[in-house]
Structure 1
Amino acid sequence: MSGIPPFRVLRAKPLWIANGVITGVLALLFTVFYVGANIDPVDHLKKLPVGLVNADEGAAVGGKQVNLGAQITESIGKSTASGDRIDWKVMDEKAVKEELGEGKLYGALVVPADFTSATTALTGSATTGTLVRPTLTVLTNQSAGSMGSSLARTATTQAAENASLQVGKGLTAQSGTGQPKLPAAARVLLADPASVTVEDGHPLDSHSGLGLTAFYYALVLVVCGMLSANVISGQVDHALGYTHNDMGPLRLHRPLIRATRVQTLAISSTLMAGLSLLMGTLVMVGAIGIMGMDAAHLPLLWLYSVCAIAVSGIGALTLLAVFGTPGMLVVTLVFIAMAVPTAGATTPIEALPAFYRFLSEFEPLRQITGGIRSILYYDAQADAGLTRGWVMMAAGLAAAALFGFGVLGWYDRKGLHRIPVETKPEKTAVQA
């Protein structure tokens, strides 16, 4: 016993400086990643994919075949009003339904088959009560993300309204050339002839969290892997006798079993892989069995969940083993701070600043979320994010193995053991 009062350590400047630097940097990084990614999504919006469909069959007007739908889609596609924020994709109705059902489009604008005939009918002399106002349909897609769907809806509705005004100018000019004067109400209607309706382009079940259950489910998988890695790392160290294990007022300690760093990581990873079977099962039981989340393809969802937890956990174990005590901070930054804003769940990837879009290409949460979305919302279609999810998880596992075992093997070869091996002193000859 030194006899020095414990609270005297609070006078030590290095204690304050070291902890101040670590906690301060952590607070700053979390703020930058979370707030910076979402502070102005509209300004950072770039090439948000939105479908543009012309199903208009056209009509004969004054002896000429006219297709107003083609004029509308062409003018919207060439419009510079939205800059490069919206990526208008001209396609047919079948292709739009397919891409909405794969999460590749955030919305769409559809010109119906009778648009020209219904619109040109407004130039007739009939009373407004007998006229059928043409309709432009805006399709939303919450399964691709609520904010992305909202941004697409706003842009598409504005484009539809502007198109209606442009068509109205042409019809107004046409109605004034040698035709009977229309009633005042008809002229008002003619100036803005089309109504805009909003429909759900890819309806979800009621217990799908408005398209967010996939994100939160994936987040649970990543957090389970990350936190379990911290628990497993500590328990393996205790089982090998490297650390004490405090249980309330009790302190437990086991005899030391010397293990190389590579062996320790192999033991921890094996334990993580085995326990992932339990955790993946319980996550499904909690989400589907207890909370009633809508889900399909349950065997595939279970397998994907188990693999996601295992890969996330082994990746976290690798960082803990390589970096030691600071490893938990690195794990938190990689799996939470940088991952959540770049997952494409709340803010679409297309609305993130360039740096965050770069991070989203390899951040684990985004890849896992894409696979879960495919299973939950898109009938487990491979090109709806499931293939990318599997491939990126395999790549992540390979990268963790190469990095972890490679660095730890180097530590072992250099003799950088966790507890230095004691060497016996050399015997010297005793002189008579």
Structure 2
Amino acid sequence: MPQPTPTPSVLRRPQLWIGTGLIAAVVSMLFALLYVGGNVNPKGNLRDLPVALVNADRGADAGGRHVNLGEQVVSGIQKAAKGDKSIDWQVVSREEADERLGKGKLFGALVIPDDFSTTVTGLTAPQPAPQGKAAPPTLTVLTNQAAGSIGSSMASQAAQKAAHSASGQLGQELLKQAGSQKTPLPTAAQLKLADPVTVTVADGHPVGPRSAMGLSAFYYALVLVVCGMLGANVVNSQVDTALGYLHTDFGPFRKREPVQHTSRVRTLAIGMALMLGLSLVMGTLVEVATVGILDMDASHLGLLWLYSVATIAVVGIGSLALFAAFGTPGMLLATIVFVAMAVPSSGATVPVQALPGFFRALAEFEPLRQITEGLRSLLYYGAQSDAGLTRAWVSMGVALVAALLFGFAVTRLYDRRGLHRIPRPEAGAGVDTPAAASAEASESSEATAPATS
């Protein structure tokens, strides 16, 4: 008997290597450029990081005149910052600084206390206070990990540098005053006067011990985005399987439902309805896992649940719209939009003020940045609307409307032009034509047939 002609190996097809290679090359290059490019040089890209400068100094009488050394410190910092645009020093009251720290509007603060002038001038007083009673001059640096650990660290470093510089300048003036006195100062006293100010660091807006040092909002947001994308992938494949467009493998067995010739618009609507239902389940389980099991610090649990469900639903619906419009490439496009471009522009690790201009522009509309800001408000700032929550809800609503309009507009266009996913039976022929009947029988017969390679 004649032997069947062997089928050529699929690995010998140039199209397979070229197509797969191009996709892999684009993805690897794009992810490397976006992920590393956004974070490779935060100090070099730092622009206008908001840090408060608080002068609560009441001043003091010295040498027959009233002096306010706190104003001198503020003036010196502002003068030094004229040629440096990395820090946006905001001169505010202590109350306003605390309010802005509590809304994530500041990454830190430098506080000059009310007795600053008194303690500094007391160092050169003719009759110094008894040993142990004189309080040293102090400047306090406030941090804000809730606004982002790296941004808070950058603000702390800048504030400490400014405080030590101010201490050195005051020290030079104190040494001049001491040098004009008849009695020379001991060496130890001169060293103390050269750098008279003690700089302390305190937490300006504490976060809970189980808040991942201010990163739990980002991790939670990333989980919601991934759940939305994975949920959309599951929904997309399950709907196609239910409509008979795809088969399902269970080990060596293959199952395929009879083909249902459904419009693209209806297919997308079915997927979005299923996504809404799954979002309720996934959002609930995410909160149960993180808050209930892992004991993550969180409050406003009802609002957090609603926010979680809505975020997963919007990301999932947006992904389904991309799948419906672009087919298989839509999955890659969704990954680029929701992950590759979103993570480096989220401002969750490296602050937006330390990103290159391209990523700062992305941060204005990329979903992960808005989702993270909303979660920071919920987890760290008491769900204050102006701490990022209102912007997050508005952005989510705009994204939902855009996804619905885009998805249904494109699928309707495809349907009107007859671009069906599976060609319908010819008009007038019905589903009982020999060709259609043969195709349907072939598809249905696969329900219990072993899968073959």
Fold-level match, TM-score > 0.5? yes
Counterpart position of 2:191:
188
Alignment of 1:7-406 (within 5 A): 8-80=9-81, 83-125=84-126, 126=128, 129-130=131-132, 131-178=134-181, 180-406=183-409
Superposed CA RMSD:
1.7
CA 385–136 in structure 1, closer or farther in 2 if over 3 Å, else same: same
CA distance in 2, matches of 1:267, 1:105: 45
Q: Aligned-pair distance for 1:257? A: 1.6
Q: Which moved more, 1:82-91 or 1:181-190?
A: 181-190
Q: Aligned-pair distance for 1:188? A: 1.4
CA 174–380 in structure 1, closer or farther in 2 if over 3 Å, else same: same
Q: Which string of whole-angstrom CA distances, capped at 9 and with x for unpartnered residues, describes residues 151-199 of structure 1?
A: 1111111000001111111222222334543332222111111010000
CA distance in 2, matches of 1:80, 1:368: 33
CA distance in 2, matches of 1:333, 1:56: 51
Helix, strand or coil: the match of 1:80? Answer: helix
Q: Aligned-pair distance for 1:78? A: 2.5
Q: Aligned-pair distance for 1:421? A: 2.1
CA distance in 2, matches of 1:398, 1:152: 38
- TM-score, normalisation: structure 1: 0.95
Asked if the contact 2:211/2:296 (under 8 Å) is kept, the reply is yes
Q: Which string of whole-angstrom CA distances, capped at 9 and with x for unpartnered residues, describes residues 355-375 of structure 1?
A: 011111111111111101100
Asked if the contact 2:168/2:194 (under 8 Å) is kept, the reply is yes
CA 353–3 in structure 1, closer or farther in 2 if over 3 Å, else same: farther
Helix, strand or coil: the match of 1:299? Answer: helix
CA 128–13 in structure 1, closer or farther in 2 if over 3 Å, else same: farther
One-letter amino acid matched to 2:150: M
CA 173–248 in structure 1, closer or farther in 2 if over 3 Å, else same: same
CA 372–6 in structure 1, closer or farther in 2 if over 3 Å, else same: farther
CA distance in 1, matches of 2:7, 2:379: 55
Q: Which moved more, 1:110-119 or 1:166-175?
A: 166-175
One-letter amino acid matched to 1:119: V
Alignment of 1:397-416 (within 5 A): 397-416=400-419
CA 425–396 in structure 1, closer or farther in 2 if over 3 Å, else same: closer
One-letter amino acid matched to 2:405: L
Q: Aligned-pair distance for 1:129? A: 4.4
Q: Which string of whole-angstrom CA distances, capped at 9 and with x for unpartnered residues, describes residues 70-96 of structure 1?
A: 111122122137710000000000011
Q: Aligned-pair distance for 1:117? A: 0.3
CA 374–179 in structure 1, closer or farther in 2 if over 3 Å, else same: farther
Asked if the contact 1:127/1:183 (under 8 Å) is kept, the reply is no
Helix, strand or coil: the match of 2:328? Answer: coil
CA 4–185 in structure 1, closer or farther in 2 if over 3 Å, else same: farther
- TM-score, normalisation: structure 2: 0.91
Asked if the contact 2:378/2:389 (under 8 Å) is kept, the reply is yes
CA 107–227 in structure 1, closer or farther in 2 if over 3 Å, else same: same
Q: Aligned-pair distance for 1:7? A: 6.5
Q: Aligned-pair distance for 1:8? A: 1.1
Q: Which string of whole-angstrom CA distances, capped at 9 and with x for unpartnered residues, describes residues 132-162 of structure 1?
A: 3201000111111111011111111100000
Asked if the contact 2:142/2:156 (under 8 Å) is kept, the reply is yes
Asked if the contact 1:122/1:186 (under 8 Å) is kept, the reply is no
Asked if the contact 2:81/2:87 (under 8 Å) is kept, the reply is no
Q: Which string of whole-angstrom CA distances, capped at 9 and with x for unpartnered residues, describes residues 385-406 of structure 1?
A: 1001000000100111111111
- Residue segments in structure 1 that go unaligned for 5+ positions in a row: 427-432
Helix, strand or coil: the match of 2:81? Answer: coil
CA distance in 2, matches of 1:203, 1:218: 21
CA 128–7 in structure 1, closer or farther in 2 if over 3 Å, else same: farther
Helix, strand or coil: the match of 1:87? Answer: strand
Q: Aligned-pair distance for 1:408? A: 1.1
CA distance in 2, matches of 1:425, 1:302: 52
CA distance in 1, matches of 2:416, 2:182: 94
Asked if the contact 2:168/2:195 (under 8 Å) is kept, the reply is yes
Counterpart position of 1:430:
none
Q: Aligned-pair distance for 1:127? A: 8.3
CA distance in 1, matches of 2:100, 2:7: 65
CA distance in 2, matches of 1:54, 1:4: 89
One-letter amino acid matched to 2:46: L
Q: Aligned-pair distance for 1:261? A: 0.8
- Residue segments in structure 2 that go unaligned for 5+ positions in a row: 430-453
Asked if the contact 1:68/1:115 (under 8 Å) is kept, the reply is yes
Q: Which string of whole-angstrom CA distances, capped at 9 and with x for unpartnered residues, describes residues 272-313 of structure 1?
A: 111111111100000011111010000000000000000000
- How many pairs are equivalent? 425
One-letter amino acid matched to 1:120: T
CA distance in 1, matches of 2:4, 2:166: 84
